[in-house]
Amino acid sequence: MAALPGFVALGEVWISELARLVPELRERFPHAPPALAADDSARHRLCEATFRAGESVSFEQPLLLVVDNVQDADETTLALLHYYGRQAGAQRTLLICVARSEDDGGREGGAFADQAREQGFAHIQRLGPLEEVSLQRVAADVLAHRGLEASAPIVQSVGRLARGNPLHATELALAIPAHDGRPSSDWLLGIADQARTAEESFEASAATRLAALSRGARGVSAALAVAARPLAEHEILAVAQLAPAEFASAVFELEAA
């Protein structure tokens, strides 16, 4: 989308805000100014930047936005979707939010789904769990991307543990430790013993990936998780107690992860 003429013409201030979510934008737009400080208005600016980006593209062609696993979205993400859906009502834009569970993701998710239905700014599409064979293909693709052997027992285990959710299958396949190019079946057995639900298996795989990060990368992740909003570089440096060089290394590591 960033290569489309409408997006290229987007104001640099909005590109700077979007770069909080997509750091790669700074490679395409190196002259964009630094993002403004993460003050009380930061979330509104990010929501507005997201809307402006969609608006710039929908002027040229219809835009379909699909948000998967919306039942797992946090309050900040739901606020962004709500803002975008309300503002984009007059555009050639269709926002579809896919839920893969019976509930809407707790109190915040339920309120979002109710408002979406009443106000019509988004379509809530409920999907049943994916078949295990589809989840196995997801796992095999991720393992192949990691350069690991995608043996049948491994991908079958991932398919079972993911319990119908492709996001969980992806996280599991990314988290599996490997030795000599072979994923660890023992690790998956341990996850199966600990996890009784898909959410527990997801948490276990995410915890494994976090534990493999360096101290600096874990510090940056923790700062962002606690804040639950984009932070300016100086704020992360202060909270994580990192030197600028350590911060740059941590960001590079997180992007690669």
Indicate the number of domains in the chain.
4
Reduced to 3 states (helix: H, G, I; strand: E, B; else coil), residue 63 is strand
Query: Domain check: are 106 and 136 in the same one?
Result: no
164 and 197 inside one domain: yes
136 and 187 within one domain:
yes
**Are 198 and 164 within 8 A, CB to CB?**
yes
pLDDT at 42: 79
Q: What is the pLDDT of residue 200?
A: 57
pLDDT at 107: 60
User: Structural domain of residue 118, as residue ranges?
Assistant: 62-128
Taking CA atoms, 15 is separated from 23, 34, 53, 84, in Å, by 10, 10, 8, 16
Residues of the chain where predicted confidence (pLDDT) is lower than 70: 1-6, 8, 38-40, 101-108, 191-206, 226-231, 256-257
| Statement to judge: residues 68 and 99 lie in one domain | yes
Calculate the alpha carbon distances from 95 to 58, 77, 81, 89, 169 in Å. Answer: 12, 14, 9, 10, 25
Res 252: pLDDT: 74
Can you state the angle between helices 166-175 and 132-145, rounded to 10 degrees? 40
Domain boundary among 81, 96, 128: 128
Do 204 and 137 lie in one domain? The reply is: yes
Would you state the pLDDT for residue 198? 52
* Same domain membership, residue 66 and residue 39: no
The pLDDT of residue 245: 75
Asked whether residue 207 falls in the same domain as residue 227, the answer is no
Condensed to tens digits (0 to 9), the pLDDT of residues 104-113 reads 555 667 778 8
